[in-house]
Every structure is written in structure tokens, then in C-alpha cells.
């Protein structure tokens, strides 16, 4: 009986910590009296919960505000960006990336290491990533931050802590869950990039985020939540069929979008996206044609995606962000011609507000989300 009551008390306290933190996160600085009023908890309980949250460094006392049922001035408790932080990580085909984001969702550090991870040895890449983690964590800690958890974005399908299949990396069934000695999650890069766009980009609640990389993925956000499908495999836009008897794709299918609009197809013999942009800016006809071809295929695949998923808007990210100026017209024209009669106007096509960093930011953001939702568990309270 004693242990059962103990558990019940702990879980109630955990729930109340989450309620208090959520109130501050959602509605800004509160006095303890105002928190008691908003949450329906007693002032004594609120004071004790706030003391724990202060101790953990996730909130701070900041000046005086009016609050409480009689509007008396009191000390305001607000979210603190000075201590608790999360680590975002990404394994991309041609780089490794890391970032540190604090609890207020300020980005404190970003690091990108160019790499050639195609058909690579997982053990070697994971060792390099561990190095990057050490470097970034040390720098964050030197700045007074405490990294509470980490999330990793990978260009492939994920099940539990295992990267099931990442065709461009050439990886299959790679266990990554013990990468760092912290609470850790791994997820598909397009899903995390969609969350990155939600939290660090446009902040709109309804959109399809299109992640243009060597592979092409998509993450659908409806009312602020990622739609994952039945097995967590939804959003594989890169393998939507554009031409049924088209060229063979890496996935084994034929005529997939990736064959026409992936980074390799866009670049051809151009060395980098930066160089492609330079050529486009100088009016290079072949570079323009490459964008038109990719944009046309993207318009076809997005037509199918709009009919099936009905997104609020379409956000182009990854390498499509710097190429947006040249992709916008062919994509929009293709969609308008095909969708116009059934929809009036097709969904708006916009560029990602995160540059190319959506996935690694979304990874860190997903840990911040977990801290805000489960502070007791994540902060050891």
C-alpha cells in the first residue's frame, strides 16, 4: 500500500510540474499567485513545484509583474534559456550536423561538417558523429548549458532505435540508440525537418514540408502534429511515381520523383548547390533547364500529394530553399494546370523559413518539446 501511494504521489507531482511549466511556456511570465489561479493548484503546491523547476534551471525569476487574484505585484517566473538545452544531430548524405537549442527555443550553436557518407561504413560515421557530439557538448557546457537529451535525424526509415533502411547511405538495420549517453531518439529527417519548420520556421500549423536533398522526403503537419501513417513510414514523396516506365530508382522502383528532382539530378556535373545557384544567377541556360525539369517533376508528384494528403500549404526546404526562385514557377504552373479545376487555387508554395537546417533544428526542438511535456522525467525531478 505504501509504495502504491508513493507512486501515485510522484505521478501527481510529475503531472503538476508539467502543468505549471506548460502554463509558463504557453502564456509567458507568471507570478506564483497567478500560476495558482491558472492551474487550480494551491499556492503552497505551486511554490514547491516552482522551487524544483528553478533548481533544475528550466525557469528563472525575472522582475516583478502584477498577478494573482487581487492583481498584487509579485516576482515573475519565466522560462529560462540559461541552463537546460537539447542537442540536435543529423546524418545527411554529404554532411554531419549538430545544434544546441535552449528551452526557450533559441538556437545557441550550429555546426556542419561536410562529409561523403554515400555507401559508407556506419561504424566510422557514427564515431565521427560522437566526436562532433563531444565537441558541441563541451562548448555548450562551457557556456553554462546542460544538455538534457539528443535527437538524431537520418535520411531513411526508422523503427525504435534502429535505422532500418537508408538507401543513399547504403545502410541497413543500423542500431544507433546508444550513440550518446543521454535520453535519445532517432527519427526520419523529413519528419524532424517538418517539426523544425513548425517550431523554427514559418510556425504555421498546417503544411507539407518537402525536404529536397540527395533523397527527397516530406513531412505532413496537420494542426501542429506530424502525420506518420500506420507504420511511421508516411511522407516518402521521393518515391511517388512520376513516370511509370521511367528510369530505375535506387529504391527498386521506376520513374520516382527522386530520379528527376533529387540533388544528383539537379546538379548533373555541377559540383555543388552553391555553384548551381551561381550559374543560375549568371543566367546559365543548362542550369535553368535542370531546375525546370526538376520543377516539372515536382509539380506532378506534388499534384498527387495534394490530392491524397490535402496539405494547408507546401513548404520547399533543403536544397530547394536556395533554388526556390528558379523552382517556384515550374512547380506552381504544373500544379495549377492539374489541380485548378478541383480546388480553385492550389495550396500556396513557399520557401522554408529555416534555410537548410530544418531537420537538425527539429531534432533539438523535439527534445525541448519532451522537456516541456515531461519535465519530471527529463529533468530527474
Chain residues in the site for a copy of itself (CB under 8 A)? 157, 165, 167, 206, 218, 222, 227-237, 239-244, 251-254, 300-301, 303-305, 307-312, 337-343
Give exposure, 133-159, as e/b (b: 16+ Cβ within 10 Å). beebbeebeeeebbbbbbbbbbbbbbe
Shortest Cβ 115–a copy of itself spacing (Å): 24
Q: Which residues pair with 111 in a beta bridge?
A: 98
**In terms of CB distance, is 110 or 254 closer to a copy of itself?**
254
Show Cβ contacts of residue 191 under 8 Å, excluding neighbours closer than 6 positions.
217, 219, 226, 228, 235, 362
What span, in angstroms and rounded, lies between the C-alpha atoms of 66 and 147?
33
**In terms of CB distance, is 51 or 337 closer to a copy of itself?**
337
Shortest Cβ 314–a copy of itself spacing (Å): 11
Shortest Cβ 217–a copy of itself spacing (Å): 10
What span, in angstroms and rounded, lies between the C-alpha atoms of 138 and 232?
34
Shortest Cβ 207–a copy of itself spacing (Å): 8
Of 151, 284, 301, 278, nearest in space to 212 by CA: 301
Shortest Cβ 247–a copy of itself spacing (Å): 13
Q: What is the DSSP letter of 245?
A: T
**In terms of CB distance, is 30 or 338 closer to a copy of itself?**
338
**In terms of CB distance, is 40 or 252 closer to a copy of itself?**
252
3-state secondary structure of 246: coil
**In terms of CB distance, is 138 or 225 closer to a copy of itself?**
225
Q: What is the dihedral of CA 335, 341, 342, 345, to 10 degrees?
A: 60
Amino acid at each position: 500500500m505504501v509504495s502504491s501511494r508513493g507512486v501515485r504521489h510522484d505521478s501527481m507531482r510529475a503531472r503538476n510540474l508539467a502543468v505549471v511549466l506548460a502554463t509558463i511556456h504557453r502564456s509567458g511570465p507568471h507570478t506564483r499567485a497567478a500560476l495558482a489561479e491558472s492551474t487550480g493548484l494551491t499556492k503552497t503546491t505551486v511554490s514547491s513545484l516552482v522551487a524544483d523547476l528553478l533548481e533544475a534551471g528550466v525557469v528563472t525569476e525575472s522582475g516583478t509583474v502584477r498577478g494573482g487574484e487581487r492583481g498584487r505585484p509579485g516576482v515573475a517566473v519565466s522560462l529560462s534559456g540559461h541552463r537546460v538545452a537539447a542537442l540536435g544531430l543529423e546524418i545527411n548524405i554529404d554532411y554531419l550536423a549538430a545544434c544546441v537549442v535552449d528551452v526557450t527555443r533559441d538556437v545557441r550553436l550550429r555546426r556542419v561538417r561536410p562529409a561523403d557518407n554515400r555507401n559508407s561504413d556506419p561504424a566510422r560515421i557514427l564515431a565521427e558523429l560522437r566526436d562532433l557530439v563531444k565537441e558541441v557538448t563541451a562548448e555548450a557546457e562551457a557556456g553554462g548549458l546542460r544538455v538534457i537529451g539528443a535527437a538524431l535525424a537520418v535520411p531513411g526509415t526508422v523503427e525504435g532505435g534502429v535505422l532500418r533502411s537508408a538507401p543513399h547511405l547504403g545502410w541497413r538495420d543500423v542500431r544507433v540508440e546508444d550513440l550518446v549517453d543521454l535520453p535519445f531518439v532517432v527519427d526520419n529527417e523529413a519528419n524532424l525537418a517538418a517539426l523544425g519548420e513548425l517550431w523554427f520556421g514559418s510556425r504555421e500549423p498546417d503544411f507539407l514540408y518537402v525536404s529536397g536533398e540527395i533523397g527527397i522526403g516530406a513531412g505532413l503537419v496537420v494542426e501542429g502534429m506530424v502525420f506518420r501513417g500506420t507504420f511511421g513510414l508516411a511522407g516518402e514523396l521521393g518515391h511517388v511515381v512520376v513516370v511509370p516506365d521511367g528510369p530505375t530508382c535506387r529504391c527498386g522502383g521506376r520513374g520516382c520523383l527522386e530520379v528527376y528532382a533529387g540533388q544528383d539530378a539537379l546538379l548533373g556535373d555541377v559540383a555543388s548547390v552553391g555553384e548551381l545557384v551561381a550559374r543560375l544567377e549568371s543566367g546559365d541556360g543548362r542550369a535553368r533547364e535542370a531546375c525546370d525539369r526538376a520543377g516539372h517533376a515536382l509539380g506532378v508528384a506534388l499534384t498527387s500529394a495534394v490530392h491524397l494528403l490535402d496539405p494547408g500549404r507546401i513548404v520547399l526546404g533543403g536544397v530547394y530553399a536556395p533554388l526556390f526562385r528558379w523552382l517556384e514557377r515550374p512547380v506552381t504552373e504544373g500544379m495549377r494546370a492539374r489541380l485548378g479545376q478541383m480546388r480553385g487555387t492550389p495550396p500556396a508554395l513557399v520557401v522554408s523559413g529555416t534555410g537548410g537546417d530544418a531537420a537538425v533544428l527539429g531534432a533539438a526542438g523535439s527534445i525541448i518539446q519532451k522537456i516541456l511535456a515531461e519535465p519530471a522525467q527529463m529533468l530527474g525531478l
